[in-house]
């Protein structure tokens, strides 16, 4: 991605989330809203990541689900289609991304580090390749679990730290070891698990992506 070119090639460090870095991350995603190739507004429902989210949060009925770091709302669109009576909130840091999300979604601008919702607000919460940009991962996981109702379920899909270097990344991006997120989830959830996940349903996982789920 040309947008991140000035960050590529740098040593993988764990940066501190300074105001300057937070502003840079926000600007980068605002600018990326016009990049449909790397930040698409749709996703094929046959993709295994979609199936994992739907399976984990379950049938919502008239409940509420949060897509935390939704981008253009491509996952939220499918969750809403499968749960037409539910309220699905699509939240992202970048307002320009949210403009692409369907009008039938609850579109909210906000940060993973300070979710603009009350405690116990959602029956299901999911974050697909968004936690990696939060920098303060411990706080972000705590926030995701804070807004989840007791008994509610959380799904996280992100990249495997054991495959670090497989893709070019901005300096702030973080990939995760299996136990790293399990430990954080278990602080807030009565159960948590992790498994490798492929992109396509009919392809064996290659180790790039991991999928975590928990129940509060």
Domains parsed from the chain with CATH numbers: 2-215 (3.40.50.150)
**Burial class of 152 by CB neighbour count within 10 A (0 to 12, 13 to 18, 19+):** buried
Local confidence pLDDT in tens for the 216 residues of the chain: 333 333 333 344 568 899 999 999 999 999 999 999 999 999 999 999 999 999 999 999 999 999 999 999 999 999 999 999 999 999 999 999 999 999 999 999 999 999 999 999 999 999 999 999 999 999 999 999 999 999 999 999 999 999 999 899 999 999 999 999 999 999 999 999 999 999 988 889 999 999 999 999
Per DSSP, what are the bridge partners of residue 106?
Answer: 89
Exactly one of 129, 162, 168, 180 is catalytic; name it: 129
Pairwise CA distance, residues 120 & 38, whole Å: 33
d(CA 70, CA 185): 20
Residue 173 annotated to the active site: no
Residue pLDDT, tens place only, 40-96: 999 999 999 999 999 999 999 999 999 999 999 999 999 999 999 999 999 999 999
Whether the model pTM is above 0.75:
yes
What b-and-e string marks burial along 4-43, b requiring 16 or more CB atoms within 10 Å of the CB?
beebeeeeeeeeeeeeeebeebeebbeebbeeeeebeeeb
Max intra-chain CA distance, the chain: 47
pLDDT of residue 202: 85
Structure tokens, 29:
């995603």
pLDDT for residue 200: 86
Q: Are 97 and 35 in contact (CB under 8 A)?
A: no
At residue 13, the pLDDT reads 56
């Amino acid at each position: 991605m040309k947008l991140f070119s000035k960050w590529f090639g740098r040593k993988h460090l764990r940066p501190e989330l300074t105001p300057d870095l937070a502003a840079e991350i926000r600007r980068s995603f605002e600018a990326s809203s016009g990049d449909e190739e790397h930040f698409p507004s749709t996703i094929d429902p046959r993709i295994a990541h979609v199936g994992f989210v739907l399976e984990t949060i379950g049938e919502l009925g008239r409940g509420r689900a949060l897509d935390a770091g939704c981008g253009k709302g491509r996952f939220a669109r499918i969750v809403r289609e499968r749960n037409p009576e539910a309220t699905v909130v699509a939240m992202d840091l970048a307002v320009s991304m949210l403009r692409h999300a369907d009008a039938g979604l609850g579109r909210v601008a906000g940060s993973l580090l300070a979710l603009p919702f009350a405690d116990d607000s959602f029956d299901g919460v999911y974050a697909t390749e968004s936690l990696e940009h939060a920098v303060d991962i411990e706080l972000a996981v705590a926030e995701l679990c804070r807004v989840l109702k007791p008994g509610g379920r959380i799904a996280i899909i992100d990249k495997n730290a054991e495959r670090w270097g497989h893709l070019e990344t901005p300096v702030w991006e973080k990939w995760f070891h299996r136990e790293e997120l399990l430990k954080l989830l278990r602080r807030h959830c009565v159960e948590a698990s992790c498994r490798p996940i492929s992109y396509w349903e009919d392809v064996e996982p290659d180790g790039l992506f991991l999928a975590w789920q928990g129940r509060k």
